Amino acid sequence: MTPLDPATLREARDSRDRMLEAQHALERSRADYSHAIRRLHAEGGSLREIAESLGLSHQRVHQIVEGDERGPVRRSSPRRRFDWPFTRFTRRARQVVVLAQEEAATLGQARVGSEHLLLGLARAEDESTASVLAEAGLTANAIRERVAGLEPSGSKRRHHGFTRAAKRALESSLREAQALGDNYIGAEHILLGLLSDERAGAVAIVRELGADPEALRAAVPAQRAQA
C-alpha cells in the first residue's frame, strides 16, 4: 500500500476543517434568520407582511414561525431519521462526529456507535480533551484496536447512521453544556455525554483500557479551569 503524501493529507484536512467551519457559519446564520423572523411576528408583524418584505412564501414564513423548518414531508420516508441540530457544535465537536463516521466506514461497521465517537475524540486532538484522554492511556490506536474487534457489518453505505448509544451521547452533550453554563457544544461536552452512559460501548472500552469513567468526568472541568 502506497503511503499517503503528508502535504496532500494536510491539505485535505485543512479543507475539511474549512468546510466544517463554513457549515457551522451557514447553520448559525440560518438559525439567526429564523429567530429574527419569529421576533418580527412576535412584535405584531403579520405572516403576509413578513413574507412580502423578505421575498418568502406565506407557507414558508408560517413554517418558520411555528418552528417546523423541515419543509414538506416526503411520503417515501419509511421512518423518522435522527436529525441532530449541529448549530451549537464547535468546529472541533463537528470534527469529532466526522472522524467517528470515517472510522465506522473504514472498519466496515454499518452504524456510528459511542465507541466511534470516543475514537473520534482521541483523533481530533482537541485541547480540552486530548490531555485528559492521553493521560488515561486512551490513545486512538488503543481505542481503534478495541473497536475493530466489534463484529463488522461489511456495509458499503456511504452515510452511516447513529446507534442509540451514540444518539444518547449527542443528546447528553447538550445537557452537559447547559450544566456548565455554556451556550455551545464542544468536544468536552461530547466526552462528558459519552461517559455519563454506563450502557454505552464507549464506557466499556474505557474500562477495558484501565481508565475510570468517573475520574475522566472529573478531569474535564479541571482541565477547563487550567485552560
Burial-class residue 35 by CB neighbours within 10 Å (0-12, 13-18, 19+): exposed
Give bridge partners of residue 89 from the DSSP assignment.
Answer: 185
Better-predicted residue by pLDDT, 144 or 156: 144
* Whole-number Å distance between alpha carbons of 72 and 52: 21
What 29-38 contacts at long range (C-beta under 8 Å, 24+ apart), as own/partner pairs, is 30/87, 31/87, 34/64, 34/69, 37/61, 37/64, 37/65, 38/64, 38/65
Residues 6 or more apart from 121 whose CB is under 8 A from it? 96, 129, 133, 187, 190, 191, 194
Q: 80-108 pLDDT, tens per residue?
A: 444 455 667 888 888 898 899 889 988 88
| Three-state secondary structure string covering 21-90 | HHHHHHHHHHHHHHHHHHHHHHCCCCHHHHHHHHCCCHHHHHHHHCCCCCCCCCCCCCCCCCCCCHHHEC
Write out the three cell numbers for 21: 467551519
Least Cα distance to 98 among 86, 88, 108 occurs for: 86
Rounded to two decimals, the pTM is: 0.64
* Whole-number Å distance between alpha carbons of 180 and 206: 23
Q: 104-155 pLDDT, tens per residue?
A: 988 888 889 999 999 999 998 777 788 889 889 999 999 999 999 876 555 4
* Stretch (H or E) spanning 223: helix 213-226
Q: 49-77 pLDDT, tens per residue?
A: 998 898 888 888 888 887 654 444 344 44
DSSP code for 161:
E
Q: C-alpha distances in angstroms, 58 versus 32, 33, 61, 85?
A: 19, 16, 5, 25
Q: 24-43 pLDDT, tens per residue?
A: 677 667 777 887 888 888 88
Least Cα distance to 111 among 165, 190, 189, 173 occurs for: 165
Q: C-alpha distances in angstroms, 91 versus 30, 54, 128, 140, 224?
A: 17, 30, 13, 20, 17
Write out the three cell numbers for 113: 456507535
Least Cα distance to 161 among 106, 100, 92, 118 occurs for: 100
